[in-house]
Structure 1
């Protein structure tokens, strides 16, 4: 069983934190590591906000250019690296909307203001909270490694390849572990819903 210092998510987070610190010190190789570890998650954030693949790619490029210039602003004592980078990506995408850099696809910020609030109603939030509690309860019933891999993949945005590398196992093995864990998780959730 992995302890808090050796589970794949912790290892990946520490590697990313180290790369961020090295980038702030001017190590250009660290930017490549950060890009490889975060591009999928950050692209997803930009795409969700901008609604256009090309615009999301442009915003992502802005993210890494700005990161190179402002890496010294990252404070590892205040935020996890992926949380800070996700906020950074979100802000860059929103800035593109506000400054009118978006060519097509996304709704202009001025037109987006009167759109109805899509936030879920209170009763939906309660149902979501209950479902989240069930998921975490069922996750706690899995063995520690499997639960850590599932959390890393689905809650923290790590790819199976990143998890396999961190655990030093073949990609197929990691996929099998997570697939079997998800099957046990699903069975647990179905059992809790039936009771």
Structure 2
């Protein structure tokens, strides 16, 4: 299993144009990032394009912006992937009415990966259930569905800064819950 330190080291070597580190980083993180992107876009082909864009940006200098100790490397990568997916979502309109249709599991994931992902998902769902229902819905909207803070503030009829506070405090609560 790849550790946090392994991923940090790979990112630093990618910043130095180390192809082997880039291949290792891709192998260690692409399934997770693809899942995040797919969850936002709900379109497999678009998700593959965005995933490629994420790694191209990392290779072309993006890895140099990673600062050890500020965030976990997978969180940093997940944020980049999520933001690129949201950017893509904002540039395009949904092409079909199939937004609610679930995508099949990533065929590259083996049985062990699927069990781990399922366990992680159950833990995240349990932690989201501990939040106030409005806060949980806002977190899901912002971080899983790609809604903007402004859209969420309008949906929940609260000021924009209140929505930012909800999300920041909810993420802190989720972090605490997930670390138990």
Shorter-chain-normalised TM-score: which range?
A: 0.5 to 0.7
Please give the per-residue CA displacement for 1:13-71, whole angstroms capped at 9, x wherever unaligned: 11111101111111121111111111111011101111111111111111111111111
Q: 1:109/1:72 Cα in 2 relative to 1: closer, same or farther (>3 Å)?
A: same
Q: 1:34/1:98 Cα in 2 relative to 1: closer, same or farther (>3 Å)?
A: same
CA contact (8 A) 1:55 1:102 kept: no
CA distance in 1, matches of 2:147, 2:74: 26
Please give the per-residue CA displacement for 1:64-104, whole angstroms capped at 9, x wherever unaligned: 11111111111113111101000000111011112238765
CA contact (8 A) 1:42 1:60 kept: yes
- Aligned residue in 1 for 2:90: 98
- Aligned residue in 2 for 1:142: none
- Aligned residue in 1 for 2:68: 76
CA distance in 2, matches of 1:66, 1:101: 24
Q: 1:103/1:63 Cα in 2 relative to 1: closer, same or farther (>3 Å)?
A: farther
2:3 is paired with a residue whose SS is helix
CA distance in 2, matches of 1:90, 1:28: 24
2:37 is paired with a residue whose SS is helix
Q: 1:102/1:88 Cα in 2 relative to 1: closer, same or farther (>3 Å)?
A: farther
How many matched pairs?
118
Alignment TM-score, normalising by the size of structure 2 = 0.53
* Aligned equivalent of 2:27, options 33, 36, 47: 36
Unaligned segments of structure 2, at least 5 residues: 100-144, 157-162
CA contact (8 A) 2:50 2:85 kept: yes
Q: Which has the higher contact order (CA 8 A, sep 6+)?
A: 1
Unaligned segments of structure 1, at least 5 residues: 1-7, 137-195
Q: Pick the structure with greater CA Rg.
A: 1
